[in-house]
A and B are shown apart, each in its own frame.
Chain A
Amino acid sequence: MKHPKLKGLQKSPTGIQGFDEITFGGVPRGRATLICGGAGCGKTLFAMEFIVKGATLYNEPGVFVSFEEISEELIQNVLSLGFDLKSLIKKNLVSVDYIHIEKSEIEETGEFNLDGLFIRLEYIINSINAKRIVLDTVESLFAGISNHAVLRAELRRLFRWLKGKGVTAIITGERGEKTLTREGLEEYVSDCVIFLDNRVMEQYSTRRMRIIKYRGSYHGMNEYPFLINENGISVLPLSSLKLQHEVSHERVTTGVKGLDEMFGGKGYYRGSTVLVSGTAGVGKTSVAAHFVESNCKRGEKCIYIALEESKDQIIRNMNSIGINLLQWEDKGLLKFHVVRPTYYSLEMHLAFIHKLVTETNPKTAVIDPISNLTTISSPNEVNSLLTRLIDFLKMKKITALFTNLIPGGSPLDRTEIAVSSLVDTWISLTDIENGGERNRLLYIIKSRGIAHSNQVREFLLTPGGIKLVDVYVSQDGLLVGSARKAQEVIEKQMMNEREEENKLLNMNIERIEKIERAKIEALKAEYRAQILEMKRSLKESQIKKDKTLSAYKLSARSRQKLSKNETKTTGGDSNGKDSE
């Protein structure tokens, strides 16, 4: 992770998981950092990891000066945490020194100073050219030397001297009654003070860390839980410092066809957080298993964190609805992490999930059920854990599905651990009793950024998986189970009747149309006949007219001829007649 670094103050990364993030880079370089806390809170380990990681990751040799444990013990102790000090010592990357003074052997007379310690430290620092040094726990000197005035003055000189040498120092100190450290070391080491704490709540202990002061740098202010496991210390930021995870517009199927349709046919957003809540035995795990299966089918890795049922039981049970999870496990796509919540504290749970996610790098994570976590801690703590977990998963762009058991009788739209506001999509499963049977219902309470159905849907767990059935609404509300089936029959009958009626109507229409057509034809034929008749009469009369005309013309011509002849013979006669 990249964090803005302040100019001026250089930092030395500790290599401790999470710590460098909350301090934006580590402890102040070339200065002294005080780590204080009660017995067994992890001071020595923190310091040791600082040295080992410095040597292995950052090429900065380091000196571990112990005032409490002899070198051999120390080497042995940290071997169990995976730190092979012996080989690092051989490579001249780490040097371990044990400084011890036995009060019973010592008599003090007159003035003295701690030049011996200075010379010793200088020698060991120079011998491996160390850049880092740990003094664990320098306060032990107070038990060996009774002249505390001298000791205090000398310690002040020591820290100044270390600063002058340019080595980054970590000084540990046991927690005092009223002060951070028994001898008030915080007065001398004032650049950076880190407080470690180991608290037991409800029989589960949780380690916490707080940065009390960090001169010249901003830092996370909260108490951060941390844990110690075989990889050393991991600090778990309560929440990522900014809400800045990238979001995806890609959608992933829910694995249930009907449910996809309720989400506009596409399913959840990739990288979103889905909560499936419901009463006992309503099918939460089945919804989860469908989702897991659909992921594995795409060849994406998936982790299944089961907090209630064993792996074999889940596999067997899901087989009954036609989901074969075993094959995906065999293919290495599905990884089960089965653990009882009571096995360890919440923080350890979170750490294991962190580890699992980092190792397997999945696309999807299922936790079934999160409500079980409340058995080991208060709802508040579980809420904080889930906040961190969701942040973490979102940052990794992992689609997460949590199931949540809601105790019978409690309101369905309220989760015990108030996780609802953290999730993006919330599907509520419920069963209702009527007519002597319980039927399963499903609805989407919310889904950020996805148009989703507002319907309450009945669903069945069939050997072929979850099936959403059609909605039947009567005057009394939603019909489910046998009532729905009865309604289905009634509707079928009604449908049949309607169909017959329709057929009849259709036939009638056809008949009338036929009549219409026939009548039109008949009329057409009649009129055509009349027209024909008329046309024939017209023709006849024309012919008659022509004949008359030609007859007339003929007679006229013959008359003309006659009159010409008359004129030739009579002459004046005809003229006289014409003039008449």
Chain B
Amino acid sequence: MARTQNSTDAASANEKKTKKKIFELKLYIAGQTPRSIAAFSNLKKICDTHLAGQYKITIIDLLKNPKLAQGDQIIAIPTLVKQLPEPVRKIIGDLSNTEKVLIGLDIKPLDV
């Protein structure tokens, strides 16, 4: 599992400190395809905008670690899994639609 004991501890520690939710995100990709690169850059943008300092992204390349597809029931690529805070949600696609991603992550968009 990519989710390490360390990061969970850090996340809970962070949560206590800031009293803010830490978003633990996993992005499943299969190789460095244009689509997965796009997904990652889209995600990064959204997180930086709406979840500054509140997120942790783990990128899992299934080509390198095919075993991991089973655990999170990954079928589509790319898939973003919001592990924390609960409930677990999945967003599939290249994350080009920011609004939908925010709904998927259950984040109220900041008024810009």
Contact = CB atoms under 8 A, between A and B. Distances in A.
Residue with the highest number of chain B CB atoms closer than 10 Å, among A105, A110, A120, A122: A110
Contacts of A105: 87-90
B77 interface: yes
B90 A123 contact: no
Contacts of B103: 107
B100 A107 contact: yes
Interface residues of B, number: 33
Contacts of A109: 91-97, 100-101, 104
A114 B76 contact: yes
Nearest to A150: B76
Given A106-B91, A107-B91, A123 B69 contact: yes
Contact of A116 (B39, B67, B77, B104): B77
Nearest to B79: A116
A106 B90 contact: yes
Nearest to A100: B73
Interface in A110-154: 110-117, 119-120, 122-123, 141, 144-145
B23 to A, nearest CB: 15
A111 B35 contact: yes
A105 B83 CA distance: 11
Contact of B62 (A101, A111, A116): A116
Contact of A107 (B73, B74, B94, B101): B101
B96 A112 contact: no
B4 interface: no
A105 B73 CA distance: 11
B66 A119 contact: yes
A97 B74 CA distance: 13
A123 B65 CA distance: 9
Nearest to B34: A111
Contacts, number: 97
Contacts of B79: 112, 116
A122 B70 CA distance: 12
**Looking at chain A, what size class is its interface with the partner chain?**
20 to 34
Given A106-B92, A107-B89, A113 B76 contact: yes
A115 B94 contact: no
A119 B87 CA distance: 26
B52 interface: no
A551 B91 CA distance: 178
Interface in B47-92: 62-63, 66-67, 69-70, 73-79, 87-92
Given A110-B95, A120-B69, A115 B77 contact: yes
Contacts of A141: 75
Contact of A123 (B67, B88, B96, B101): B67
A103 B65 CA distance: 25
A433 B87 CA distance: 88
Contacts of A120: 66, 69-70, 74-75
A108 interface: yes
Given A115-B30, A120-B66, A120-B70, A108 B75 contact: no
Contacts of B97: 109-110
Nearest to B104: A107
Contacts of B40: none
Contact of A114 (B73, B77, B88, B93): B77
B32 to A, nearest CB: 13
Contacts of A385: none
A100 B76 CA distance: 12
Nearest to B33: A115
Interface in A490-521: none
A116 B75 contact: yes
Contacts of B92: 106-109, 112, 145
A386 to B, nearest CB: 51
28 contacts: A97-B70, A99-B75, A100-B73, A101-B90, A105-B87, A106-B91, A107-B92, A107-B101, A108-B92, A108-B100, A109-B91, A109-B95, A110-B42, A110-B95, A112-B35, A112-B76, A112-B93, A113-B77, A114-B76, A116-B69, A116-B79, A117-B75, A119-B62, A119-B63, A123-B66, A123-B67, A141-B75, A145-B76
Interface of B: 28, 30, 35, 39, 42, 62-63, 66-67, 69-70, 73-79, 87-97, 100-101, 103-104
Given A114-B76, A122-B66, 14 more contacts: A100-B73, A107-B92, A109-B94, A109-B95, A109-B100, A110-B42, A110-B93, A110-B97, A112-B76, A113-B76, A115-B62, A116-B79, A119-B62, A120-B69
Which 3 A-B residue pairings sit nearest by Cβ, starting from the closest? A107-B104, A115-B77, A110-B96
